[in-house]
């Protein structure tokens, strides 16, 4: 009910608080750039080339957090639009851009319970729908699940993140036969160290998929790279 009220009677920008629509034109513009290749430093071995439209900082971070953690309605469209541009750039970088399969990084069951949905999967589905309206035959396959409990990685350093996520993902039942021989783009809302995307790519590749790229809305840029592993 709240979500509907927000859409019909927006009061203030979810990112900056300015009175008006749920996202003001200035904050929406922060997500309006073309997607580009954004390698984390250091990039984990085996990370597919990752695309994003913006650094994960400032206004963009405020928009993502408002959407993910506070469920701010009305932000999904601008985030899905950004993700669709990232998917388009990722798809353009592979050999068969009109026939790619999108696989979203799965949320933990705790995150799904807290948010009432799988944020990355929902955004991926909307981004795919946007791409299809441009004539692309992009499809979404929820191929992955978390194989075990993982810690919230937000407070973890690079090495701890890698340890936390090692072998954390597995195929969902029935997914393997739909992945073999396909060109896949793995999708998440934000890329930080790249370890999550890499771990997902490893599982998909073991099933015979060609994981050609990764697409995200935003990329964390570290000022002080941690020590290499």
Summarize as ranges the residues that interact with Zn ion (CB under 5 A).
13, 15-16, 18, 24, 27
CB of 23 to Zn ion, least distance (A): 6
CB nearer to Zn ion: pick between 18 and 222: 18
CB nearer to Zn ion: pick between 66 and 203: 66
CB nearer to Zn ion: pick between 25 and 157: 25
Furthest C-alpha separation in the chain: 50
CB of 93 to Zn ion, least distance (A): 32
CB of 66 to Zn ion, least distance (A): 10
Reduced to 3 states (helix: H, G, I; strand: E, B; else coil), residue 139 is: strand
CB nearer to Zn ion: pick between 10 and 42: 10
Using the CB atoms, write b or e for 22-47: b if 16+ within 10 Å: bbbeebbebbeeebeebebebebeeb
CB nearer to Zn ion: pick between 18 and 70: 18
CB of 189 to Zn ion, least distance (A): 19
CA distance linking residue 1 with residue 6, whole number of Å: 9
**Residue located via tokens 């990039």:** 43
CA distance linking residue 219 with residue 207, whole number of Å: 27
CB nearer to Zn ion: pick between 27 and 190: 27
CB of 176 to Zn ion, least distance (A): 44
CB of 164 to Zn ion, least distance (A): 34
- The structure tokens listed for 158 are 């690079």
Beta-carbon contacts of 228 under 8 Å, excluding residues fewer than 6 positions away, are 42
Sign of CA dihedral 129, 131, 134, 136: negative
């Amino acid at each position: 009910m709240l979500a509907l009220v927000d859409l019909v009677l927006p009061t203030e920008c979810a990112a900056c608080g300015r009175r008006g629509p749920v996202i003001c034109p200035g904050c929406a513009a922060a997500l309006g750039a073309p997607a580009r290749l954004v390698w984390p430093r250091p990039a984990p071995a085996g990370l597919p080339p990752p695309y994003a439209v913006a650094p994960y900082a400032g206004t963009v971070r405020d928009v993502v957090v408002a959407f993910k953690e506070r469920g701010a309605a009305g932000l999904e469209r601008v985030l899905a639009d950004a993700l669709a541009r990232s998917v388009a750039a990722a798809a353009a970088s592979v050999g068969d851009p009109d026939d790619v399969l999108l696989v979203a990084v799965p949320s933990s069951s705790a995150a799904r319970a807290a948010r009432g949905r799988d944020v990355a999967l929902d955004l991926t589905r909307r981004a795919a729908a946007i791409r299809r309206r441009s004539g692309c035959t992009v499809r979404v396959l929820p191929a992955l699940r978390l194989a075990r409990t993982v810690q919230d990685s937000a407070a973890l350093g690079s090495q701890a993140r890698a340890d936390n996520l090692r072998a954390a993902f597995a195929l969902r039942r029935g997914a393997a036969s739909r992945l073999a021989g396909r060109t896949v783009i793995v999708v998440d809302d934000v890329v930080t160290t790249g370890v999550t995307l890499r771990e997902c790519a490893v599982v998909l590749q073991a099933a015979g998929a060609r994981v050609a790229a990764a697409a995200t809305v935003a990329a964390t840029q570290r000022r002080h790279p941690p020590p290499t592993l």
